[in-house]
Structure 1
Amino acid sequence: MKELEFAITQSAFTSIRDGLNEELELARIALASLDAEPVSQTYNLPELIEGMEVSIDVSTCDADAGNRYFGTVTEVSELYTAKNGYILLVQDAKPNFDVNGNTPVQSPIDHGYRPECECSGCKATARICAELNNEEAEIFADGYNAAMQSFGNSEQLNSPVTPDGYTLVPVDLTPEMREAFHVANEEYESGHYDVWSPDHQWQAMLAAAPQQ
């Protein structure tokens, strides 16, 4: 499935044109759920995406990882000169973070499908489910919830877990680590340590490495 290019109407982000891989994956999962059982209607991609919540990553470094803007797709247009043939128009995009640098606010797609919810994602899903029979609507809603769960898990997977017995060290030695190596080498050569030379030097360098 091709990427969709994202257009935010706010002037501060007119230069952003990142691909919507995650949103397309949500749509793909939802469409796959419809294909799992016979359905009464056929939906094309623009019809499915229009009215749904989408997001764009606006992070620039580890410190603001996860910062996104969320909004409702109001129009899906074909544009043959665009990189992937489509443009999404999203009006009044809202951040999932405080633009003034305070505590992050809740994302509008932090939950699955709730029929009573008034967020545009749930309303768009309810609109589609209303055109299906009960069994088809349940299949589609399950696909939507699975997509939301997958989206949430992908955010968590961006933070690697360090196994027990391991530590993170710089790829390039810092001046402090180099100095620790030379000091440890001199200590070993003085005969004051029984530890094998490489072990003693390595332990000294680890101790001098930047700590998280």
Structure 2
Amino acid sequence: NWHFFNFKAKLKPSYATYPLPGVQPILVDNEGNEIKGNGVEGNLCMKFPWPSIIRTTYGDHERCKQTYFSTYKNLYFTGDGCKRDEDGMYRITGRVDDVINVSGHRLGTAEIEDAIDEHNNVVETAVVGYPHDIKGQGIYAYVICHNTDNDPELMKSEIIKTVTKVIGPIAKPDRIQFVDGLPKTRSGKIMRRILRKVAEGDTSNLGDTSTLLDPSVVDAIKEGAIN
């Protein structure tokens, strides 16, 4: 199953395309069974090491072992979900711990975010789950728009239509909150635990926020939260 990178291959938006020589990815189900063929989806693992693969964590080798090499026997687990399309190209769907269970359907937050981002007025999106009485978990989307003068209800309707077209009706957001910014660390990572807390209506203790680039963003999100 070796693929050699073809610079003439047709690229696809949001795809990692093919693995480079020496990198041997496989997809496995939750029990660790390999999922073969194309047009499939599973947990992304690596069969064999490559020169730059992580080997240990300074001062805590056991943690490295437990995190990356214990989930599936004899495999390196990336922690990501992945699709392999009909052409054999790979697309990372997001962290497997960033999965929302909606009426028994497991949906990756990254997949929903990508669908929302296809709307031409959307700049950036962050999606989290929150407890839902009927579906188990609902989908809460925080959306930054290019043009904030647009009718909010019309924008929500268009976003829902976009997600329904790209993924299906099961993935349409239950709540859409338009925001001016997302809570990010100085390195640009979105602090999703804060967004989950706000979506769940629990803002009394947001945990350590000392690494936030702009704490005022959180205050604005809390003020406009939909509960």
Structure 1 length as normaliser, TM-score?
0.23
More helix by share: 1
Structure 2 length as normaliser, TM-score?
0.22
Larger RCO: Structure 1 or Structure 2 (Cα < 8 Å, ≥ 6 residues apart)? 1
Larger-Rg structure: 1
